[in-house]
């Protein structure tokens, strides 16, 4: 008898040990899953910041430029045409030759010129055209260095590699070292990144065009999707009779929220571009597509916010003689506004990061100019990231990461605004 | 006048209408003293006038703006040479492209063929005439509406009722927009797909195993027809989605269980938002990460253990996509688990279950329908995800079950078929819409199913 009790106790004890072990394992799996997710967040941010931080500094080279008439090939002419076609790159080349006597011949001149970005020639042309009396004088100017020089200064190009495996020759590296020694070549804050549009040359490429495009696009989205979304939500919550028609609208909205974004791009392409003939690549069309995309989100969150307003508010308003519409516009909507705004901001954040539908309506074009209106061809920040990520030049890798940092920063600001709004104005009924 | 100037003028007229209506109603009853003789408050008379002034004009402006371009193009095309008109839609599109180049100034009118120049000139005339007509029409409508409403103001008019009814119809129209969007998606995608299926048989599209949509430029070129068997794309999509789910479901589910059942309030308060950050990161960032970090890392890893991993392997795209979807599953599952009544857990504990046993055998089973719904939604999301696969998966369609190989997906093909392509009628561009139709129908089916499952479950415990 006591034997069987002991046996049972032993079995229970053994099984308990097993079950407790299983319990600990189970808990550990859960913890690991959470930590894995969190560590991925940290890893992603770390990797992007580590790659992108370098792009905020840019190699610049200071040169003594002589505006030599013969080098420019002007021969006494000062007409605008002559000034526009003069050889400004030659000025840079001569300045480099004066500094490095060994940069002789065509090859040497070309190798030297590769140290400096080709924006230097444009800069010189601008200066001469503004003031032709500069010709014959000289001045000390600072230019962007070439992309390879920039990468070399940041340690992205290994000088111990054999010469034919790196983009810079031994001679160029010697020049770079010489320039660095007398402080003519250094890393400085990269202003151009925030003030330039896109460019094929990595050292001249900036995010301003994409930022402006994003702003215009989001403005269209906000102006359209917020009022329409709130109106739709107010109707569905406060006025709609319960019938099959409103059920259909409801099911529809819920389904639309989960339709892949690229399908909205197809709609935009077929409807706005091909049928209505709106311009390609325009923020207006981008904004319209993103409006359709964010509308379901805004409607759903606004409805939740409106539903959270207690019925007693409505009854009190109606009891004081307000009409249905007065009750909604004067009482329910103001009280629901923090929740509605939070939803709208979250919808906008989604629109800000959206890429795929904008590819469909031609916002992937290579556009140098900063857009100045709603119908100018433009691109947006996430599409810019996509475009740069596709570029083969290695200098674009850090620019891509830097553009991502800018994008994430904007998202952070937007989401933080939403969080602050919610915390400050949210009411618990 | 341009549309934005017109819009500003309309706004100005509406404000004027509001003020006029308000003053008029007050004047009719002899100022604020006679207020109680008015049927509605003065500002309702103002709104009444403003609505009459603005609404018809705005409606016309929107409709006009939408249809002006197609109508003008149609009219201008009539001036095209007869041989272009008879040569069919493709020739016509090319012709109109030339016209557009002349109009935008990128080609000088003198250099264009006389026909093109004439059409461009005709378009320009029509455009000017249309603009003038629109301006006159809008101003007439706005001012006429204003005067009409002003004439109708009298103290007995039920202005508030009229205004409120109008607003209710406006609200209704806004909520119907959602239905129109769905309808618009469906119709536009179906319309283009039907065009596509005229050229390519639906059976070949659905069951063909060879996908190479590069239609040749010249008709006599080798392989000029292009082939549109979409099975490799469906397989590729399925494989990447499958890999993503293998990552996301266990991780998301375990994370949700831990956060809902084990974690302390403090840990939960920072870990849950951290996980949700994953959902807020734009997909293009994941794509960049997959293409530049995950792809090469997997390739190197494969090389060290002797596996041949493609740089654009399905594995890299799938893994990163899975990470992206973790918060999607974890927050849905978290909701479902916390919705399970405490009494069920207490019952399990009372029978001697450990916590994990109670979770596995009671809580998860009760929450199962909701979790399944969440997973279905996540699958639909993975199928429709575009940027990660565009950046990190391959372009060539391949029938393979090897996750280390490069595969392509439906969304990748839609993007590659439609970006940078100007002409719009070849089977190549239309194929993108057929793929879009498949995508839309599939995700729609998954969503309907998922929402039904979730709703059914929610009713159980409320």
Average pLDDT, chain B: 86
Query: Inter-chain contact A41–B252, Cβ cutoff 8 Å?
Result: no
Domains annotated on chain A, with CATH: 60-190 (no CATH), 208-425 (1.10.3720.10)
* String of DSSP letters for A329-365: IIIIHHHHHHHHHHHHHHHHHHHHH--HHHHHTTTTS
User: For testing the chain A interface, which of B353, B357, B386, B448 should be mutated: the one with the most A CBs within 10 Å?
Assistant: B386
Q: How far apart are CA B259 and CA B267, in angstroms?
A: 8
Cα A404 to Cα A45: distance, rounded to the nearest angstrom: 10
DSSP state of A155: T
pLDDT exceeds cutoff 50 at B77: yes
By the 10 Å C-beta count (0-12 exposed, 13-18 middle, 19+ buried), B145 is classed as: buried
**pLDDT bucket at B405, cuts 50 / 70 / 90:** confident
Tokens 């939740």 — which residue?
A304
Which of A401, A394, A353 has the alpha carbon at shortest distance from A49?
A401
pLDDT on residue B423? 56
d(CA A288, CA A222) in angstroms, rounded, equals: 10
pLDDT tens digits, one per residue of B13-36: 999 999 999 888 888 888 778 788
Q: What is the pLDDT of residue A87?
A: 83
Which member of B167, B284, B293 has the closest CB to residue A47? B293
> Considering only CB atoms, which chain B residues are within 8 Å of A248?
179
Q: How many residues does chain B have?
A: 462
Please tell me the predicted confidence (pLDDT) of residue A336.
Answer: 92
CA angle A75, A80, A81 (to 5 degrees): 75
d(CA A302, CA A311): 16
Residue A145 and residue A60 in contact, taking contact as beta carbons nearer than 8 Å: yes
At residue B457, the pLDDT reads: 67
Asked if the Cβ–Cβ distance from B171 to A266 is below 8 Å, we say no
A335-339, B224-228, B445-449: which range is least confident on average? B224-228
Is the Cβ of A49 closer than 8 Å to some Cβ of chain B? no
* Residues of chain A neighbouring B188 (CB-CB closer than 8 A): 266-267, 270-271, 275
Q: Is the pLDDT of residue B422 over 60?
A: no
CA distance A111 to chain B (A): 30
Q: Please state, for a pLDDT cut of 70, what percent of chain B lies above it.
A: 93
pLDDT of amino acid A334: 92
Q: Give the ipTM of the model, two decimals please.
A: 0.89
Domains of chain B: 3-157 (no CATH), 227-461 (1.10.3720.10)
Question: Distance between CA A36 and CA A19 in Å, rounded?
Answer: 25
How many CB atoms are located within 10 Å of the residue B321 CB? Answer: 27
Confidence band (pLDDT; 50, 70, 90) for B65?
confident
Low-confidence ranges of chain A (pLDDT < 50): none
Distances (CA, A) of B408 to B230, B302, B314: 11, 20, 8
Cβ contact B385–A260 (<8 Å): yes
Nearest-CA distance from A278 to chain B in Å?
8
Tell me the shortest Cα–Cα distance from B150 to chain A, in angstroms: 23
Contact yes or no for B226/B427 (Cβ under 8 A): yes
The pLDDT of residue B216: 47
What lies within 8 Å, CB to CB, of B3 at 6+ separation is B61, B65
pLDDT digits (tens, 9 = 90+) for B130-186: 889 999 999 999 999 999 898 888 888 888 889 999 999 999 999 888 888 888 889
> Of A273, A356, A360, A367, which to mutate for an interface test with B (greatest number of B Cβ within 10 Å)?
A356
* pLDDT computed for residue B459 by the predictor: 57
- State the distance between the two ends of chain B, measured CA to CA, in whole angstroms: 59
User: What was the pLDDT predicted at A286?
Assistant: 94
Instruction: Answer with the residue of higher pLDDT: B457 or B370.
Output: B370
Residue B221 has pLDDT above 60, yes or no: no
B424 touches chain A (CB under 8 A): yes
**H-state helical runs in B385-419:** 387-392, 410-418
Task: Give the pLDDT score at A211.
Answer: 93
Residue B66 has pLDDT above 90, yes or no: no
A 212-271 near B (Cβ less than 8 A): 227-229, 231-236, 239-240, 248-249, 251-256, 258-264, 266-267, 269-271
Chain B residue with minimum CA distance to A348: B280
CB spacing of B66 vs A276 below 8 angstroms? yes
Q: Which residues in chain B are contacts of A411 at CB distance < 8 A?
A: 280-282
Residue B197 makes CB contacts below 8 A (sequence gap 6+) with B205, B434
Dump pLDDT digits (tens) for A249-274: 888 888 888 899 999 999 999 888 88
* Nearest CA distance, B133 vs chain A (angstrom): 19
B167 touches chain A (CB under 8 A): yes
Highest mean pLDDT, choosing among A190-199, B71-80, B348-357:
B348-357
Q: Which of A397, A407, A408 is nearest to A205 (CA)?
A: A397
Contact yes or no for A407/A351 (Cβ under 8 A): no
The C-alpha atoms of residue A409 and residue A411 are separated, in whole angstroms, by 5
């Amino acid at each position: 008898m006591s034997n069987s009790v002991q046996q049972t106790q032993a079995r229970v004890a053994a099984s308990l040990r097993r079950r407790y072990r299983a319990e600990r394992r189970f808990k550990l799996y859960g913890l690991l899953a959470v930590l894995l997710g969190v560590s991925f967040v940290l890893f992603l941010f770390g990797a992007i910041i580590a790659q992108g931080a370098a792009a905020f500094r840019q190699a610049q080279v200071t040169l003594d430029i002589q505006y030599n008439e013969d080098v420019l090939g002007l021969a006494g002419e000062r007409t605008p045409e002559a000034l526009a076609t003069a050889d400004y790159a030659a000025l840079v080349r001569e300045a480099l030759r004066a500094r490095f006597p060994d940069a002789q011949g065509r090859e040497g001149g070309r190798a030297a010129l590769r140290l400096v970005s080709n924006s230097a020639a444009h800069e010189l042309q601008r200066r001469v055209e503004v003031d032709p009396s500069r010709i014959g004088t000289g001045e000390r100017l600072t230019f962007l260095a070439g992309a390879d020089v920039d990468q070399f200064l940041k340690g992205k190009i290994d000088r111990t590699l054999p010469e034919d495996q790196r983009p810079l020759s031994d001679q160029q590296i010697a020049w770079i070292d010489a320039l660095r020694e007398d402080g003519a070549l250094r890393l400085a804050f990269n202003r151009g990144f925030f003030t330039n549009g896109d460019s094929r040359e990595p050292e001249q490429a900036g995010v301003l065009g994409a930022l402006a495009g994003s702003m215009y696009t989001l403005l269209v989205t906000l102006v359209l999707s917020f009022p329409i979304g709130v109106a739709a939500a107010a109707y569905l919550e406060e006025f709609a009779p319960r019938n099959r028609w409103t059920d259909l609208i409801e099911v529809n909205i819920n389904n639309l929220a989960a339709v892949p974004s690229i399908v909205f791009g197809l709609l935009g392409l077929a409807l706005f571009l091909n049928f209505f003939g709106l311009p390609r690549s325009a923020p207006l069309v981008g904004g319209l597509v993103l409006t359709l995309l964010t509308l379901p989100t805004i409607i759903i969150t606004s409805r939740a916010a409106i539903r959270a307003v207690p019925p007693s508010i409505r009854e009190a308003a109606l009891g004081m003689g307000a009409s249905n519409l007065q009750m909604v516009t004067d009482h329910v909507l103001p009280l629901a506004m923090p929740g509605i705004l939070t939803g709208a901001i979250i919808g906008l954040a989604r629109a800000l990061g959206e890429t795929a539908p904008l590819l469909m309506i031609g916002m992937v074009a290579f556009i140098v100019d900063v857009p100045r209106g709603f119908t100018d061809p433009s691109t947006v920040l996430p599409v810019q990231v996509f475009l740069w990520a596709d570029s083969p030049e290695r200098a674009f890798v850090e620019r891509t990461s830097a553009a991502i940092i800018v994008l994430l920063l904007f998202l952070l600001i937007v989401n933080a605004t939403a969080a602050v709004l919610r915390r400050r104005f949210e009411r618990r009924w | 006048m341009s549309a934005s100037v017109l819009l500003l003028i309309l706004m100005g007229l509406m404000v004027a209408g509001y003020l006029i209506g308000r003053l008029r109603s007050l004047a009719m009853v002899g100022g604020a003293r006679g207020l109680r003789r008015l049927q509605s408050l003065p500002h309702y008379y103002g709104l009444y006038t403003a609505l009459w002034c603005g609404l018809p004009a705005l409606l016309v402006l929107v409709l006009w703006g939408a249809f002006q371009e197609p109508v003008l193009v149609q009219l201008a095309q009539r001036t095209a040479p007869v041989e272009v008109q008879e040569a069919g839609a493709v020739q016509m599109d090319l012709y109109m492209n030339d016209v557009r180049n002349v109009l935008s100034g990128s080609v000088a009118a003198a250099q264009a063929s006389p026909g093109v120049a004439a059409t461009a000139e005709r378009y320009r005339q029509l455009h000017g005439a249309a603009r003038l007509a629109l301006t006159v029409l809008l101003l007439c409508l706005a001012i006429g509406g204003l005067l009409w409403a002003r004439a109708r103001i009298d103290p007995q008019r039920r202005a508030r009722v009229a205004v409120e009814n109008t607003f209710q119809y406006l609200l209704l129209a806004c909520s119907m927009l959602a239905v129109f969007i769905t309808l618009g998606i469906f119709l536009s995608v179906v319309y283009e797909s039907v065009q596509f299926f005229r050229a390519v048989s639906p059976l070949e599209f659905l069951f063909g195993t060879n996908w190479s949509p590069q239609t040749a430029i010249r008709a006599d070129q080798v392989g000029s027809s292009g082939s549109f068997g979409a099975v490799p794309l469906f397989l590729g999509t399925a494989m990447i989605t499958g890999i993503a789910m293998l990552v996301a479901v266990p991780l998301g589910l375990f994370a949700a269980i831990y956060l809902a059942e084990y974690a302390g309030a403090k840990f939960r308060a920072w870990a849950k938002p951290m996980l949700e950050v994953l959902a807020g990161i734009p997909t293009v960032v994941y794509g960049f990460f997959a293409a530049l970090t995950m792809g090469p890392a997997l390739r190197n890893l494969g090389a060290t253990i002797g596996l041949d991993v493609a740089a654009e392997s399905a594995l890299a795209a799938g893994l990163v996509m899975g990470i992206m979807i973790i918060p999607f599953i974890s927050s849905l599952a978290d909701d479902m688990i916390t919705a399970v009544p405490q009494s069920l857990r207490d019952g399990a504990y009372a029978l001697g279950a450990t916590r994990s046993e109670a979770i596995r055998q009671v809580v998860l089973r009760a929450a199962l329908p909701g979790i399944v719904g969440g997973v279905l939604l996540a699958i639909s999301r993975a199928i429709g995800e575009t940027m990660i696969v565009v950046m990190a998966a391959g372009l060539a369609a391949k029938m393979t079950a090897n996750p280390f190989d490069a595969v392509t997906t439906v969304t990748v093909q839609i993007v590659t078929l439609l970006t940078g392509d100007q002409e719009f009628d070849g089977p190549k561009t239309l194929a993108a819409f057929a793929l879009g139709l498949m995508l839309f129908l599939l995700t729609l089916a998954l969503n309907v199913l998922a929402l039904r499952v979730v709703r059914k479950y929610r009713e159980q415990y409320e």
